[in-house]
Amino acid sequence: MKVSKEELYSLIMKKLEGAGLSSEHAKTTSEILVWSDLKGIHSHGAVRVDYYAERIAKKGINVTPQFQYTSPSSSVLIMDGDNGIGFEIAKIGMEKAIEIAKNHGVAVVGMKRMSHSGAIGYYTELAAKEGLLALSFCQSDPMVVPYGGTEPYYGTNPISFAAPSADGRIVLFDMATTVQAWGKILDRRSKGLDIPEGWAVDKNGSPTTDPYAVNALLPIAGPKGYGLMMMVDILSGMLLGLPFGKHVSSMYHDLSSNRELGQMHIVFNPEFFTDKDVFLKMMSQSLDELKQQTPAPGFEEVQYPGEGGINRMNIYLKEGIDIADSVMDYLKGKTIHQNKYDNKNRFAE
Ligand code: NAI
């Protein structure tokens, strides 16, 4: 079903406020969920509202958090989010990081004790819109085997990087460190289809194509993705003194408990490293050169990271955003949440 961004925003607001979230935090959360759907990241948009509403209603998200900040040096800030909604905490964290990087060249902002913050590219894009470069990493619940292992240990631990150019184009790289999200496996089950090899393993750690035999997801590119997800866990978990690896809380286990997650933003101000104008022009030149390449067989063009999202957003703004009918039925209905997620196993079957 197609829906305008304004309608989607107000439907999401109603559910979040109905569940008990403050208007201020509901506005930020709705804005970021709509941004995700607009960019075509439907796995992290309106489809998640039912889950957030249930967790808010069951008090697993603190709706009156008292944020606390410690600043051990001019460029390092630690924010304790008091287990408030992750979207608000990650956005404030990036706003602080932008301010610090503008004044000091580099900002490292660690946010601890927060809930899920969705598609993390939203936060790095905020910095790039201010002419800065940003990285962000965050923890997520364990559902991935380490390379060569049999038991889930890491989350789908995402990485995002954003950088500006001289002409307004923004490179926005934003990915999970797993080959596929769990949602894609559920989708195959619902369609009665096998999964391609390389997505997941069974309880023995052997590759499986049977969507019902999946016990864990696989890291991207074997040991390389495994190393990246470990890096994310160390930077956004251990370095902030938080539960790490398999000790990270589950998204679906107990919706009345706080998640205690961590996220790390790192922001660079190019002015402190080189001539900013030269840097921005180099970025534009590089994007032009990439786009001028002859596409390989099967490709229409070379795209830069984030370009697909911009193209999708431009179409959605004209034609309306594609949202699954089942999600729209829920959003338009009276029920605040459908009591679907609590006490499920880690894959929310
Ligand atoms: P994806 O596989 O759709 O895209 C990954 C990256 O590849 C993007 O930067 C995209 O722009 C780029 N890309 C895709 N096709 C391209 C092409 N043809 N040419 C150039 N670049 C291209 O993303 P994935 O891994 O499915 O992640 C989806 C979202 O899930 C992300 O927003 C991520 O932040 C979020 N996430 C959030 C988690 C959390 O706990 N908060 C956990 C895991 C993921």
Mean pLDDT of the chain: 95
Q: Ligand 1: which of 120, 172, 175 to mutate, judged by most atoms within 8 Å of the beta carbon?
A: 175
pLDDT class for 187, splitting at 50, 70, 90?
Answer: confident
Condensed to tens digits (0 to 9), the pLDDT of residues 202-223 reads 999 999 999 999 999 999 999 9
Condensed to tens digits (0 to 9), the pLDDT of residues 190-206 reads 788 999 999 999 999 99
Specify the pLDDT at position 186.
77
**pLDDT (average), residues 78-85:** 98
Closest ligand 1 atom, residue 176 Cα: 25
Q: Whose CA is nearest to atom 19 of ligand 1?
A: 303
Specify the pLDDT at position 347.
62
In DSSP notation, 259-313 reads: --EEEEEEEE-GGGTS-HHHHHHHHHHHHHHHHHSPPPTT-S----TTHHHHHHH
**pLDDT (average), residues 220-244:** 98
Q: What amino acid positions are annotated as catalytic residues?
A: 116
Structure tokens of 201?
Answer: 């393993």
205 CB under 6 A from ligand 1?
Answer: no
Q: How far apart are CA 91 and CA 84, in angstroms?
A: 12
Q: What count of Cα atoms within 13 Å lies in the side-chain half-sphere of residue 183? A: 10
pLDDT class for 183, splitting at 50, 70, 90?
Answer: confident
State yes or no: pLDDT of 349 exceeds 60: no
pTM of the model: 0.97
For each of the domains in the chain, give its residue range(s) and CATH number, in order of start.
2-274+309-332 (3.30.1370.60)
Specify the pLDDT at position 242.
98
Condensed to tens digits (0 to 9), the pLDDT of residues 311-346 reads 999 999 999 999 999 999 999 999 999 998 887 766
